[in-house]
Amino acid sequence: MNATINLEKKHFPVLLNELISIISPLYGGTFIDCTFGQGGYSQKILENKKNSIIALDRDQGVLKNASIFETKYKNRFKFYNLKFSQLDQVKIKNNKLKGIIFDLGYSLNQIKDNQKGLSFSHTGKLNMKMGINEISANDIISEMNENNLSKVFKVFGDERYSKQIAREIIKQRKQKNIKTEDLVKIIDSVKKFQKTKIHNSTKVFQALRILVNNEISELINSLIFAFKLIPVGGIIVVVTFHSLEDRIAKFFFKHYSEQKNSSRYLPETGASERCFRLINKKPILPTFAEIKQNPPSRSAKLRYGIKNKNNCDFNDFKEKFKNLIDIESLR
Ligand SMILES: C[S@@+](CC[C@H](N)C(=O)[O-])C[C@H]1O[C@@H](n2cnc3c(N)ncnc32)[C@H](O)[C@@H]1O
């Protein structure tokens, strides 16, 4: 979720009605909510008594809410404080499994949390850890070399002034530890003559959040694992909030739902079976009414696919985003 949101607002699950209308034909089994957050999706799915939920979230901040769910829904809800890349640690009866859902990004509670420092509206030590992290934004800003910093800002934030910002960080960190408010000032000083609709710091903060939380490899590895886990006929749903995430989700569903001939001289009958069946080729977007009620939803895109066969080879997928994974491993 975008960090520029109004911190006074309450949390609304994004594209909830659309999600429910897509998954409800599969009701009567287990759904994995990989990003429990404030439980908006889980709650709605559990309203149907035939459903059960296995929920994951990397943030310890959701534990209290998760335990309320465990009491309320007894045998139908189980929570794990894990990253979704650790889904292999969860015991799942996959003959009951109907769907795996990823609602990426951040909840309003996380954005509001000053300690997490996800937003440039906060002050104090740089952090940006969502939960179960190895490094913080402070480690990156204090230790990463100029060239790599610039690469991260450019590729993960599409920041035009990546080089100048990286240079200024290196200069200033010799004098002091750079805090959130200092980073905002550095970016403002580099971009002082630029007039854009978005806040000067949006792109650099997005890049740092992606790196701190390993968002790219988390998503790629987990989508591949989700495919292996779900039975044929089951659904994988992904809600993204920025263009890098969406490129990954789009490629995953589109590339693996196209009919491929092993040879272009073979007739259509020689085409190998597709890994996914797609009902919607285009992403599902929030309505104007939803955006009006909850402005951060404007950047959300929902994509999904129905598993069509076992044993898909995801080498193209990994190869396609190898450059992004390489940048994440610069940490
Ligand atoms: C946008 S919120 C989800 C909101 C939720 N669908 C709801 O209705 O309340 C995203 C949540 O995903 C969690 N998250 C993000 N990346 C994760 C990961 N790699 N593994 C586990 N949880 C993750 C965040 O901690 C956050 O709580």
Instruction: Tell whether the torsion through CA atoms of 256, 323, 125 and 58 is positive or negative.
Output: positive
**Three-point CA angle 227, 232, 234, nearest 5°:** 70
Q: Is residue 158 part of a domain?
A: yes
Q: What one-letter code names the amino acid at 328?
A: E
In the beta sheet, which residues pair with residue 301?
240
Q: Find the 258 Cα to ligand 1 centroid distance in Å.
A: 30
Q: Alpha helices, DSSP H only, in 58-161?
A: 63-72, 108-112, 137-143, 146-157
Question: Which pair of structure tokens corresponds to residue 73?
Answer: 């829904």
Nearest residue (by CA) to ligand 1, atom 13, is 35
DSSP string, 244-282: HHHHHHHHHHHHTTS-EESSTTS-GGGEEPPSEE-S-SS
- CATH number for the domain harbouring residue 194: 1.10.150.170
Q: Is residue 49 part of a domain?
A: yes
Determine whether the shortest distance from the Cβ of 129 to ligand 1 is under 6 A. Answer: no
**Residue in 11, 58, 217 to alter for ligand 1 test, most ligand atoms within 8 A of Cβ:** 58
In the beta sheet, which residues pair with residue 235?
99, 306
Q: Find the 65 Cα to ligand 1 centroid distance in Å.
A: 13
**Which atom of ligand 1 is nearest to 219's Cα?**
19
CA distance 215 to 325: 9
pTM: 0.94
Question: Does 96 lie in the same domain as 23?
Answer: yes
Nearest residue (by CA) to ligand 1, atom 3, is 37
Nearest residue (by CA) to ligand 1, atom 27, is 37
Provide the residue range defining the domain that includes 143. 134-212
Q: Is residue 27 part of a domain?
A: yes
Q: Find the 28 Cα to ligand 1 centroid distance in Å.
A: 24
Q: Find the 3 Cα to ligand 1 centroid distance in Å.
A: 14
Q: Is residue 320 part of a domain?
A: no
Nearest residue (by CA) to ligand 1, atom 12, is 35
- Which residues does 255 contact at the CB level (< 8 Å), separation at least 6? 316, 317, 320
User: Is there a contact between 250 and 311 (Cβ–Cβ < 8 Å)?
Assistant: no
Backbone angles phi, psi at 238, to 5 degrees: -130, 125
Question: Does 220 lie in the same domain as 90?
Answer: yes
Full pLDDT tens readout for the chain, 331 residues: 443 344 456 779 999 999 999 999 999 999 999 999 999 999 999 999 999 999 999 999 999 999 999 999 999 999 999 999 999 999 998 789 999 999 998 998 999 998 999 999 999 999 999 999 999 999 999 999 999 999 999 999 999 999 999 999 999 999 999 999 999 999 999 998 777 788 999 999 999 999 999 999 999 999 999 999 999 999 999 999 999 999 999 999 999 999 765 555 555 543 468 999 999 999 999 999 999 999 999 999 999 999 999 999 999 999 999 999 999 999 8
β-strand pairing of 30-33 with 52-56:
parallel
CA distance 127 to 116: 6
Q: Which of 166, 195, 212 is the last residue of a domain?
A: 212
Question: Does 297 lie in the same domain as 231?
Answer: yes
Q: Find the 4 Cα to ligand 1 centroid distance in Å.
A: 17
